[in-house]
Amino acid sequence: MKRTLLFVLSLCLVAGMVFGAGQRQADTTDTIVVATDATWPPMEYIDENRELVGFDIDLMRMIAEEGGFEVEFQNTAWDGIFAGLGTREYDAVISSVTITEDRKQTMDFSIPYINAGQVLIVRQDQSGVTTLSDLRGREVGAQIGTTGAFEVRDADGVELRTYDELGLAVEDLANGRIDGVVADTPIAADFVLQNENYRGRLQIVGEPFTEEYYGIAVRKGNSAVLDRINAGLQAVIDSGRIAELEEKWLR
């Protein structure tokens, strides 16, 4: 009887050790899979060497370094990126994601890492245009499902045309098929200031008309991943390394 009792106790102890080890492994989160829509230069895009690069990519790698975990990127189309987060296809999304109250209902966010308000892009030959209201009765483009699209939709008398990729909207603007494009400040600056196809043809007018912050999205309630990301991100901010990224990608 005593032998049987000891055997049962031993089995319970072993089972507890195995279960505990499994729990620790899950909590450790040694590799975090992060989705990004690599069509938003300079934040995330595929370069001429077919490499995934950009502000967000460098930032996420710094966060992983500071947070003590590995990061694995998954290039994912924007229109399904949040659905994939909900169905556990990956652990987080870093893709110029604006923190909004609506999005906070269905996902959690890291601390904010950059303020990127919406700006209006028009052609160089367009005069007298400084705000969305100046384009009343005309078409303005934005990428579908983005904050820019919401702003155009809500602008009185302005007709919204949505695009799967922002670059398609910018191309239509440059060729006179629409009269404006609304986009996040970093992305607008890349198209207008850095892209050889549009430099000298397009301009950013007025000031940013929203105050928005980018954050890293995680599945609702996934504190294990969120805490690791926040710890790494705060370390990057405190060290001043994020300022180096702004100088590299946004100036």
Say yes or no: 126 and 176 in one domain: yes
Give the torsion sign (CA, 34, 120, 143, 251): negative
**DSSP letter string, 151-219:** HHHHSTTPEEEEESSHHHHHHHHHTTSSS-EEEEHHHHHIIIII-TTTTTTEEEES---S--EE--EEE
What is the span of the domain harbouring residue 66?
30-115+213-249
Cβ neighbours, 10 Å, residue 10: 10
Instruction: Note whether 107 and 220 are same-domain residues.
Output: yes
Cα 186 to Cα 40, 212, 249: the distances in Å are 9, 12, 8
For position 1, what pLDDT does the model report?
Answer: 39
**pLDDT for 29:** 63
- According to DSSP, residue 146 is labeled S
Do the strands 139-143 and 107-109 form a parallel or antiparallel pair, or are they unpaired? unpaired
Residue 192 CA to residue 185 CA, distance in Å, equals: 10
Contacts of 155 by beta carbon, 8 Å cutoff, 6+ apart? 132, 133, 136, 140
Whether residue 172 sits in one domain with residue 228: no
Residue 219, CB half-sphere, CA atoms under 13 Å: how many? 16
C-alpha angle 184-188-194 in degrees, rounded to nearest 5: 145
Tally of CB atoms within 10 A around 241:
16
Residues 108 and 125 in one domain: no
CB 27 within 8 A of CB 1: no
Instruction: Tell me: do 126 and 177 sit in the same domain.
Output: yes
| pTM of the predicted model as reported, rounded to 2 decimal places | 0.68
Instruction: Dig out the tokens for 120 from the structure.
Output: 């209006």
| Partner residues linked to 159 by β-bridges | 139
The count of structural domains within the chain is 2
Taking only the tens of pLDDT, the chain with its 251 residues reads 333 333 333 434 333 333 333 332 334 469 999 999 999 888 999 999 999 999 999 999 999 999 999 999 999 999 999 999 999 999 999 999 999 999 999 999 999 999 889 999 999 999 999 999 999 999 999 999 998 999 999 999 999 999 999 999 999 999 999 999 999 888 898 888 878 899 899 999 988 888 889 999 999 999 999 999 999 999 999 999 999 998 888 77
pLDDT at 198: 94
End-to-end CA gap in the chain:
77
For residue 15, is it within any domain? no
The answer as to whether 20 is a domain residue is: no
Q: Residue 31: left if φ>0, alpha if ψ -120 to 50, beta else—which one?
A: beta
Instruction: State the pLDDT at residue 9.
Output: 35
Residue 159 sits in the same domain as residue 88 = no
Burial of 203 (0-12, 13-18, 19+ CB in 10 A): middle
CATH of the domain at 200: 3.40.190.10
Strands 70-75 and 31-36 turn out to be parallel
